[in-house]
Structure 1
Amino acid sequence: MNRRDAVRMALVAGVALATGAAAPKGKVNAASLVRPGDPIYGNPHGQVTIIDFYDIRCPPCRAMNKRIHKLIETDHDIRYVPVEYPILGPAGMLATRALYAARMQGGYRRMRALLMSQKPVPTPALMQQDATQLGLDWPKMEAAMAGPQVAAEIAANLARGRALGIHEIPAMYIGPVKVVGGLTSADLRSVVAQAMREQDGK
C-alpha cells in the first residue's frame, strides 16, 4: 500500500469491518477495544485512544511505533495501546512469545523497546541474549514461551484482529477512525485531531 492510499483510508471514519460472527457491529471506537491487561502508554485516561495492531518484524509498524511515541511525548491526551499481532512469520511469532514471557517478569516495556529496535532476525539464542541483557530469568522465560499462558494470549490477540477484519499491518483505530497502513507524523497528528473533533461532536 502506498502512502496516498494509506492516508485516504486513514481519513475515512468508520470504515466497514469485514463480516464475521465475532465482528463488532456499527462504528467502532478504539476505546471500546481495550481489554483488561492490555499495555497502556501515554495517558491512561486520554481523550483519544490509539489501538495499534502490529508485528514486531514489520518495518512500517516499527516506523509508526516511533512516530506514536514521539506524539504521546508532546500530546498528553492520548492513550496508546499496542496489540501484538504476529502474522508475518515464525520470527515475529518467536519475538512475540519472548515479549509475553518477559511481561510475566515485569519486563514488557524494556523487552518491547529492545525488540522493536533490533535489526537481527529473532532466534532462541538472540532471545536468550536479550533476556540476559535486561536482567530477566532466561530459564523461566524460555519455559513460559513454550507454555499455555503465552500461547493463549497470542491466540486471543490473533482472534481479536481477525474479528475486526485485519489482514494488513500496521492497522490502527484512532478514536473512531480506522487506519490501514503507515502515516507520516503530520498525517498522524491530523487523524488524531479528526478523532478528537468527532468525539467532541464537532
Structure 2
Amino acid sequence: MSRFLAFLFALAFPVIAQAQGLRAELPILGDDGSRVANHRIASDRVAAAEKLPGAVVAANPKGDVTLVEFYDLNCPYCRRASADIDALLKADNKLRLVLVPFPVLGIPSILAGRVEIAVSKMLKPQDFYRYHRALYAGRGVIDGQRAINAASEFKLDLQKVLDAANEDGITDIMKAHVRFADTLNLKATPAYLVGDVAIQGHPGQKGLKAVIDSVRKCGKAAC
C-alpha cells in the first residue's frame, strides 16, 4: 500500500486514547463509578453521523435506540468496547449500532482503516460487522496487512480490496470523519453519540447500558 497523501500523517495524533481532562456535563458513570467525560449535542447529530460516507449500520437497522461509535482499531479501549457492545447487542435486539472508522492513533491505524473502509463497501452490513469483530481477534498491532488477511476469510478478491483501499476516495472519507468529529469536539477514542450526548471514552458495558436505557425511557442520556 504505497500511495498515501501527506495529509494522512497529519491525522496520526490529534486524538488521545483516553478522555483525560475532559468535562462531564451529565452524570454519566463508568462501571467503576467514576464520571465519564461527555457533553450535550444537538438531537440531529446522531442521524448526521450515520450519513458519513464511511459509516455502517452494522447491527439491528430497525432498532429503537441508535448508538454511534467512533473508533480506532489500535485503541485498547476500543477493543474492550467492541466486546462490550457485542454483548449488549446480543442481549438487546432493539439496539441499533452505527460504526464510524476514526483511525487517528498512528500510521498502522490509518492503513488498517483504509482497508476496513474498502471492505465495508464490499460486504453486507452484517458481514462487515463480523469482519470488524474479527479484526480485534488476537493480539498486537492491527495494520494494513492484518486487515487484508482478515478479509481473506470473507472470500473477497484481495487485490480488489487493496486497490480500493489505495483510492483517493478513502482519504476523502477519512477527512469527512475527522471534520465531523471536530464539529462535535470529539477528543477521545472510543467516542459515542447516543440520544442527546457525546460520550468520550468507554464507560463500560453497564455504563453504556444505563445511557441506552435512559434514552429509551425519556429520550435523553440522563432522565
Is TM more than 0.5 here?
Answer: yes
Which letter does structure 2 place at the counterpart of 1:86?
A: P
Unaligned 5+ segments in structure 2 are: 1-18, 21-29
In 1, the alpha carbon distance for the partners of 2:74 and 2:49 equals 23
User: Structure 1, unaligned stretches of length 5 or more?
Assistant: 18-25
Identity of aligned pairs, percent?
Answer: 24
Which has the larger share of helix?
1
Quote the Cα distance in structure 1 between the aligned partners of 2:143 and 2:68: 28
Query: Is it true that 1:40 corresponds to 2:60 in the alignment?
Result: no
Cα deviations by residue, 1:72-95 (Å, 9 ceiling, x for unpaired) = 112122111011111101111111
- Structure 2 counterpart of 1:177: 197
1:88 aligned onto 2:115: no
Q: Evaluate the alpha carbon distance shift between residue 145 and residue 177 of structure 1 in structure 2; reply closer, same or farther with a 3 A threshold.
A: same
Determine which of 57, 71, 77 is the counterpart of 1:60: 77
Instruction: Read off the aligned partner of 2:87 and give its amino acid letter.
Output: K
Give the one of 134, 138, 144 matched to 2:154.
134
Counterpart mapping for 1:18-29 below 5 A: 26=42
1:59 CA drift (Å): 0.9
Provide closer, same or farther for how the CA distance between residues 120 and 151 of structure 1 changes in structure 2, counting only shifts above 3 A: same
Query: Match of 1:164?
Result: 184
**2:90 counterpart of 1:73:** yes
- State yes or no: 1:117 paired with 2:137: yes
Q: For residues 118 and 90 of structure 1, do their structure 2 counterparts lie closer, same or farther at Cα, with a shift above 3 Å needed?
A: farther
Number of residue equivalences: 191
User: Match for 1:42: what amino acid?
Assistant: A
Q: CA RMSD in A?
A: 2.8
Which amino acid is the alignment partner of residue 8 of structure 1? Answer: R
Letter in 2 for 1:117: A
Deviates more, 1:139-148 or 1:114-123: 114-123
Cα separation, partners in 2 of 1:93 and 1:39, compared to 1, 3 Å: same
Task: Give the TM-score of the pair, scaled to structure 1.
Answer: 0.80
In terms of mean alpha carbon deviation, does 31-40 or 133-142 score higher?
31-40
Measured in 2, the distance between the counterparts of 1:53 and 1:124 equals 19
SS of structure 1 residue aligned to 2:136: helix
Shift of 1:27: 5.2
Task: Compute the TM-score of the two structures, normalised by the length of structure 2.
Answer: 0.73
Q: What does residue 169 of structure 2 align with?
A: 149
